[in-house]
Structure 1
Amino acid sequence: MMLLLLAALAAPAGQAPAYDLLLSGGMVLDGTGAPPFRADVAVLDDRIAAVSRTPIPAARARRVIDAAGKTVSPGFIDLHAHNESIFQLPAAESRVRQGVTTTLAGPDGGGPTPFGAYLERADKVALGVNVGWLVGFGSVRQAVLGRSDRAPNADELDRMKRLVGQAMHEGAFGLSTGLLYVPQTYATTAEVIAVSKVAGDSGGIYTSHLRKEGLGLLDGVAEAIRIGKEAGMPVVLTHHKAIGKAMWGRSAATLAMIDSARAAGQDVMADQYPYTASSTGFNVLVPAWAFAGGDSAFARRVKDPVLRDSIAKGILDILENDRGGGDLKRVQFASVAWKRDLQGRTLYDWAVERGVSPTPRGAVDLVIEGVLNGGAGMIYHVMDEGDVQRIMKHPWTAIASDGSLSEPGVGVPHPRNYGTFPRVLGRYVRELKVLTLPEAVRKMTSLPAMRMGLTDRGRIAAGLKADLVVFDPATVGEKSTFAQPHQYPDGIPYVIVNGKIEVDDGKMTEARGGRVLRHTPQARQAPPVAFVNVNVVPMDRERVIAGQTVVTEGNKIVRIGPAASVPVPAGAIRVDGAGKYLIPGLAEMHAHVPPGNATDAEITRMLELWALNGVTTVRSMLGIPKHLPFREAAAKGEILSPRIWASGPSFSGGSVPNADSAMRMVRAEKALGYDFLKMHPGIPREAFDSLAATADRLGIRFAGHVPLAVGLERAIQAKYWTIDHLDGFLEAMARGGPPTTPQQDGFFGLPLAADLDESRLPGLVAAAKRAGVWMVPTEAFFEAIMGDEPLDQLVARPELKYVAPALVSGWTNTTRQYRENPAYPRELRQRFIAMRRKIIKTLHDGGVGIVLGSDSPQFWNAPGFSSERELGTYVAAGLTPYQALATGTRNVADFLGNAAETGTVAAGKRADLILLSGNPLADIQNVARRAGVMVAGRWIAREEIDRRLAALVP
């Protein structure tokens, strides 16, 4: 952009003009809220080429506009615009004449669908304004569920998520909801959160027409803030208001809620139109349940005397206490296809015309009749001026119209369609002095631009897009009224959109500079977090550092030091660490991301279970191609997930029966981009030798089971990346020699435990140490199945509520069969467990690397929850709590080769952390006492963990 400025300023005299347009001599408001300054603004192509406090000669420009005595500001940005008629009215004159150059459309849950096709169609139209769109929750829900009053099943929820994800990929700026409206009102908060997370994971915003804006206003605000917090999205409380006399004045409480959320580090703001009347449909006067199933269902219900009576009571309550305001004169018709003479008149007028009592009770049947006729567009005069001004003055309120595109003579719409922005400048700045002019312009320009993520609009500076407005602060104002809305405003002689003059000396031109704007999906940036006065367990060695402040920004730890010396950044989430212990995030090095026909929802659910339990890295041991996009999304921070190391489909006797097939499969998995190869039993020796040689040439590692035909010694010689389950050790120590058939080997060599030559163990350990082979014991898996914990206690483990009941039932039956097998008596099973524990301790003492892995979600190991159980078995085997904890932290960093970025708590390391309510070095089971977790810099407190976990119960 600097090159553009220099080139323009350096154009030699006598040559072609350097600029297309020069706004000369005006007072510039740059959009930031700073005071105005006298400057010339030059435009070249679609950008601002220069902003000069020194006059620029008129000869330098092809066109000069004399802005003396006028204000030059960035084009206004409307955060809540109804563009449903953009193809019929592409010039958007009712907007452009207000000074609006950019709009965010698709509000109230009504975004376009199919999303991408709609935007592509808009690309082909000459638009008067720039337009970005939100994906609408209501549109998505209706596409999947119709107007059903029920919760979606898992597959339906998955479809909704996919539609939102696709829209975000196609350029949506975020997700909008209108939870007042059918069918959105049928959605629970949990459903909205689940769908919103998809938009949040792509950096989208959440704009909410609250579920309640009247008597339930505070609950509606709390719900929107909760949705944004749990979905990880900036929140806009759109067209914020307090409806009904009973709620007048309560904006003080709602704004305090915004302030409280912001103080806690959450990004929450509001937008507002400057009127005491709202505008929406006629059907909001009817309780939402009456519309379940659609219009025909409503028609049937009102014919049923009992149901009609119930509907009537709901209408009466709304007329008296909500949109009706208790006075039919407050309910005005804007557009009525079935009775056009009602347009501009009120429900009171219609009641008098029909000879019924002009009271809420008397109008109930008229409301039902109007709905049956097809409804109407309405204006509801139900807000208080004091609330309007209070909300407007709040520093985090933007101005937005909630208006539709209008053309003269069509209906009697809300005057906001023509007058929102000039009304603020005329009435609330010049006349009432509620806002200063610089602050009002900020609320119309840089503040909404910030919310939309538009870095090249919303301000006046060289290099930014040339969206500009010239207005006269002495005369600017609306002319539209509720009785005569079709009037363009005064005092806005020039509007420029992307360098094209669309309003020229007060007249609309044929120029159309608008464009379709698309949001680029991006991983959201987590706010800074400060753990204050916390005990740090850094895991660089066995120690606890008391009274520290740990600050994270983005996905990095940026500062650690004594609480008194480390400042908390402005706007940071402050976490009280007193009495708590901060450790690195844990790893699960033998995990199973759902394979086979698992849906995206099932995969996402399991990844979230791991993350919510502080597992920030997983190694998936049975991969499929479908896992690879999740690996990438996790790496980019687009989903709540551990980082994923993914294997390909497993190598087994069935998949690689010979050397040639093994070589081809290694090459194929390497080419597909898997991180390593998974070994399963049954691989012939010939095939294994080919596999190992090919993997070595291609530089891809292999890990997992040790096939009987291979044996532990050959596996170590071939430099397995990890030997999992301690597979092969008992076989290598069997006095009668290694078994050759699965029948001889039994359950992981359990029958062999009766007669082992333990003198062989040190040699095996030394060989593993020399070869650099790591071990993943998965010990909790074996001890749950073959141990003495009663089956009823296993089934009662609280974490198993996150496992499908049918799966738990299968585990129960299989475990019972193993324990009741005469070939596996209790004494032999105890010997099996004791020997495995001895192997773990001998491996550790012999310097062989051990990394944490529990084989979740296999037998009795719920994802995430199994980590503390696995660590407990290492302590039972003789490791200290520190040594056990190292297997899931620093050891994993060494194993994966990323010790420079993870594995310990230190400045510069990745912000994967767990906050515990007890010292894990005193008792390893304190790992289960999670007060919160941080995944790639995203802080999730215990309260949020519990809410999210509750939604993951199958």
Structure 2
Amino acid sequence: MMKCHRLAGLSLLALAMAGCSGENAKEVDLVIRGNQIITGAEDSDTPQKGVLVVDDGIILYAGAELPDEYDPQREVDAGDDIVAPGFIDAHTHACDDFGADNSNLNYLTQGVTTVFCGNDGGGPTAIEDTLAGYEQTGLGSNVALFVGHGTVRRAVMGEEDRAPTPDELIRMEKLVSDGMKEGALGLSTGLYYAPGAFAKTDEVIALSRVAAAYGGVYDSHIRDEASYGDGLIASIEEVIDIGKGADIPVHIAHIKALGTDVWGKSADIVAMVEKARQQGVDITADQYPWKASGTSVGGALSPRWVLAGGEEEYHARLRDPAQLPRIKREMTDNLRRRGGAASLLITDPKRPELRGKTLADIAKERGTPPVETAINIILTGNARVASFNMDEADMERFAQQPWVMTSSDGSTGHPRKFATFPKKYRDWVARKPVLTLGEFVHRSSGLTAQWFGLTDRGTLEQGKAADIVIFNPETYAPQATYLEPKKLSTGVDWLVVNGRLAIDEGEPADLKAGQGLRKSVRGENDGEVPS
């Protein structure tokens, strides 16, 4: 199609003046013009005026002016909206919601074009089958997966609280190897949760070596973000030890100092990470900008040893008069660490009789002590909670580190699932200058893509995948709250996923533009499990 076809109604003189130099112009899908383009690169801090040319899912051109050689089927004038790479959420539970509808609209309306799933040790071992199933149904966003240590351990050892035998370790290594061959990002662990909590460091190092052999990373929900057992500082040290022992890049999931016992420890942790980086450990972290974490009553308060063996044995211990005194003592201390019964807000839509009340409220209504109330809630189905346990100074210190990315850790009943990226922008860029606009964009896109090995996206550069968010800096804001956690965020006027408009002038459009992303890096052993 010639560029001059739109000049058909003009006079010959006008045609001559127009130049008609595009007789051989290439027809392209989309051109985006904007006054505030942030590329997502580390050094892209000042918005620039320019043009992006998109075709067949790729950015063909990024520059100051539109060359005559391109003839767009669609043009978007972003005006003074921010034009940035689509955001990449490094830690989600989005895939738990997949089924008949995988549109992921709650992430798209935040400007997120790629989500990582399989965090906290829960990732599948059948990576290719899982991604293929998602793609067959259709995906609103791109999805990348981790192999989950908890899934691997459970498949081989069940919920056993012991070290693996040599044969069991070999079988676990094989499962990790298979997942990496099929394109997993790396190995994820949930060392706070059963059965991951039952693994010793040497087991995790052995499995991490397998992921490292394929160019993968190690992503960890650390053993203790507070002072439950190992302690926050020791748990960070373990991540560093795994990085050294397995020679693998390591990542701390949703970094935080959880609970009054460890408030202020962020400075120590930053110093530890900086020292490890200077020693050659490639270590990063992600963070969400919410003072409340999301967990369950049982997850917040139950001692780890009580969880061994699965739900039936777990509940039996809670009912056992011989064990109950010890359990109550430990739960009482855990409740103190969390900030007390008033700090736990029930948000679970499956427990409408409790939703919107704190554990303190429910205990008062029932006339029972908070720990007894919590045990009853656990035995009658448990409940999701927002646990208000973080200090703002710690949060801001972590946010300012150049190695800390953005993540939601989105979970049922918590607004972070619908509103994390706009909240971070609103709180720490627009309202308070904790981050510059360029830092916010880079740590929500380019840094994440680069570190996790998604080399084909994350920045607005020629040849990169066309994942692009265009948001209004005045209206880009969270709408979800702790009691209304499912309200969609506002302010994303256009969103491009793999070159297709998923949001068009603020309205959902093509909600099946996502892809399963498979990491293609391979190790020197060409697929053999390392010895």
TM-score normalised by L of structure 2: 0.91
Q: Does 1:152 align with 2:164?
A: yes
Distance 1:24 1:472 in 2: 14
> Of 325, 348, 354, which aligns to 2:366?
354
- 1:52 deviation in Å? 2.2
8 Å CA contact 1:403, 1:417 repeated in 2: yes
Distance 1:162 1:233 in 2: 18
Distance 2:178 2:529 in 1: 14
Distance 1:183 1:174 in 2: 19
Q: How does 1:368-379 map to 2 (within 5 A)?
A: 368-379=375-386
- 1:336 deviation in Å? 5.3
Q: How does 1:628-639 map to 2 (within 5 A)?
A: 633=525
> Of 334, 340, 344, which aligns to 1:331?
344
Partner of 2:370: 363
Q: Does 1:247 align with 2:236?
A: no
Q: Does 1:18 align with 2:14?
A: no
- 1:40 deviation in Å? 0.9
Q: Does 1:95 align with 2:102?
A: no
What's the Cα RMSD here? 2.0
Q: Does 1:123 align with 2:138?
A: no
CA-to-partner distance for each residue in 1:793-826, whole Å, 9 max, x for gaps? xxxxxxxxxxxxxxxxxxxxxxxxxxxxxxxxxx
Distance 1:393 1:386 in 2: 11
Distance 1:328 1:58 in 2: 65
Distance 2:56 2:218 in 1: 34
8 Å CA contact 2:477, 2:490 repeated in 1: yes
8 Å CA contact 1:197, 1:232 repeated in 2: yes
- 1:437 deviation in Å? 0.3
> Of 26, 44, 47, which aligns to 1:36?
47
CA-to-partner distance for each residue in 1:487-517, whole Å, 9 max, x for gaps? 2222211111001101111111144210001
Distance 2:314 2:173 in 1: 29
Distance 1:13 1:417 in 2: 47
Partner of 1:311: 327
- 1:14 deviation in Å? 5.0
Partner of 1:300: 316
Report the AA paired with residue 281 of structure 2. Q
Partner of 1:232: 247
CA-to-partner distance for each residue in 1:108-138, whole Å, 9 max, x for gaps? 0010244332223123121011101000001
Distance 2:529 2:172 in 1: 16
Q: Does 1:74 align with 2:89?
A: no
Report the AA paired with residue 64 of structure 1. E
CA-to-partner distance for each residue in 1:544-584, whole Å, 9 max, x for gaps? xxxxxxxxxxxxxxxxxxxxxxxxxxxxxxxxxxxxxxxxx
CA-to-partner distance for each residue in 1:314-353, whole Å, 9 max, x for gaps? 11111011xx32x21211122253x322223221221122
Q: Does 1:108 align with 2:124?
A: no
**Higher mean C-alpha displacement, 368-377 vs 272-281:** 368-377
Q: Does 1:504 align with 2:504?
A: yes
CA-to-partner distance for each residue in 1:349-375, whole Å, 9 max, x for gaps? 21122122xxxxx21112222222232
Distance 2:214 2:70 in 1: 47
Distance 1:165 1:353 in 2: 52
Distance 1:16 1:513 in 2: 27
8 Å CA contact 1:331, 1:346 repeated in 2: yes
Partner of 1:692: none
8 Å CA contact 1:25, 1:55 repeated in 2: no
Partner of 2:409: 402
Distance 1:58 1:500 in 2: 21
Q: How does 1:932-943 map to 2 (within 5 A)?
A: none
Residue 139 to residue 180, structure 1, CA distance change in 2 (3 Å): same
| SS at 2:28 equivalent | coil
Partner of 1:391: 398
8 Å CA contact 2:503, 2:510 repeated in 1: no
Partner of 1:453: 453
8 Å CA contact 2:61, 2:461 repeated in 1: yes
**Higher mean C-alpha displacement, 242-251 vs 293-302:** 293-302
Partner of 2:198: 186
Partner of 1:283: 298
- 1:258 deviation in Å? 0.8
Partner of 1:566: none
CA-to-partner distance for each residue in 1:639-672, whole Å, 9 max, x for gaps? 767xxxxxxxxxxxxxxxxxxxxxxxxxxxxxxx
Partner of 1:616: none
- 1:147 deviation in Å? 1.0
8 Å CA contact 1:72, 1:468 repeated in 2: yes
Partner of 2:486: 486
Residue 340 to residue 637, structure 1, CA distance change in 2 (3 Å): closer
Q: Does 1:51 align with 2:70?
A: no
Distance 1:271 1:439 in 2: 14
Distance 1:465 1:45 in 2: 9
8 Å CA contact 1:280, 1:379 repeated in 2: yes
Partner of 1:273: 288
Residue 89 to residue 348, structure 1, CA distance change in 2 (3 Å): farther
- 1:272 deviation in Å? 0.2
Distance 1:159 1:369 in 2: 39
Distance 2:397 2:262 in 1: 14
Partner of 2:434: 434
- 1:481 deviation in Å? 1.7
Q: How does 1:570-589 map to 2 (within 5 A)?
A: none
Residue 454 to residue 219, structure 1, CA distance change in 2 (3 Å): same
Partner of 1:540: none
8 Å CA contact 2:91, 2:116 repeated in 1: yes
Report the AA paired with residue 225 of structure 1. I
8 Å CA contact 1:58, 1:64 repeated in 2: no
Q: How does 1:729-768 map to 2 (within 5 A)?
A: none
The structure showing larger relative contact order (alpha-carbon pairs under 8 Å, at least 6 residues apart) is: 2
Partner of 1:896: none
| SS at 1:19 equivalent | strand
Report the AA paired with residue 173 of structure 1. L
Q: How does 1:783-794 map to 2 (within 5 A)?
A: none
**Higher mean C-alpha displacement, 340-349 vs 141-150:** 340-349
Distance 1:45 1:59 in 2: 13
| SS at 1:212 equivalent | coil
> Identical aligned pairs, as a percentage?
39
Residue 303 to residue 81, structure 1, CA distance change in 2 (3 Å): closer
Partner of 2:7: none
Partner of 2:213: 201
Residue 350 to residue 342, structure 1, CA distance change in 2 (3 Å): same
Residue 298 to residue 80, structure 1, CA distance change in 2 (3 Å): same
Where structure 2 has 5 or more consecutive residues not aligned to the other structure, the ranges are 1-19
Q: How does 1:530-541 map to 2 (within 5 A)?
A: none
Partner of 1:914: none
> Of 20, 27, 43, which aligns to 2:36?
27
- 1:168 deviation in Å? 0.7
Distance 1:300 1:516 in 2: 41
Distance 1:637 1:46 in 2: 30
8 Å CA contact 1:27, 1:36 repeated in 2: yes
Distance 1:12 1:125 in 2: 44
- 1:143 deviation in Å? 1.0
